[in-house]
């Protein structure tokens, strides 16, 4: 978000430390109307890594119930294949292409699938930021 909004990847970092400034991040998200949540409530890692390929979703998040608590939400954004699949299964829709979106008519939502934020995803950070800027145009 620092690179997207401020053209500075370290904008939300605490200088001289390898930490994010949580207070600054929370204020920014509240100001911009951004909320973040996992698409799975309970998962099981089948191997000792962060790959979605070895991630078993035991209990998906009840996304419609979550959205009922924030009726002003009109956009869902996923950042990985597993999360995108969960949203598509929840709403009975297709998974959008990476960097694209579809309309979920029965939920009045725009559903975006963005590039993974993982460092393992083979796309330079600057290119990821370019893709994510589309969300805020």
Structure-block tokens of residue 35:
């909320």
What does pTM read for this prediction? 0.86
Please list, in sequence order, all residues whose beta carbon lies within 8 angstroms of the beta carbon of residue 105, skipping any fewer than 6 positions away: none
pLDDT of the residue at 122: 83
Each residue's pLDDT tens digit, 82-125: 999 999 999 999 999 999 999 998 778 999 999 988 877 888 88
Q: How far apart are CA 38 and CA 48, in angstroms?
A: 19
| pLDDT at residue 16 greater than cutoff 80 | yes
pLDDT in tens, 23-43: 999 999 999 999 999 999 998
90 in Cβ contact with 82 (< 8 Å): no
> Residue 133: its pLDDT value, please?
93
């Amino acid at each position: 978000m620092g690179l997207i909004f401020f053209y500075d990847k370290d904008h939300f970092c605490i200088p001289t430390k390898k930490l994010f400034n949580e207070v600054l991040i929370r204020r920014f998200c509240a100001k911009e109307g951004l909320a973040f949540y996992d698409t799975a409530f309970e998962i099981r890692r089948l191997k000792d890594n962060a790959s979605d390929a070895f991630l078993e979703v035991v209990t998906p998040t009840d996304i419609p119930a979550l959205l009922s608590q924030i009726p002003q939400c009109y956009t869902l954004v996923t950042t990985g294949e597993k999360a995108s699949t969960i949203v598509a299964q929840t709403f009975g829709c297709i998974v959008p292409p990476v960097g694209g979106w579809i309309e979920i008519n029965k939920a009045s939502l725009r559903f975006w699938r963005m590039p993974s934020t993982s460092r393992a995803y083979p796309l330079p950070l600057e290119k990821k930021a370019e893709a994510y800027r589309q969300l805020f145009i």
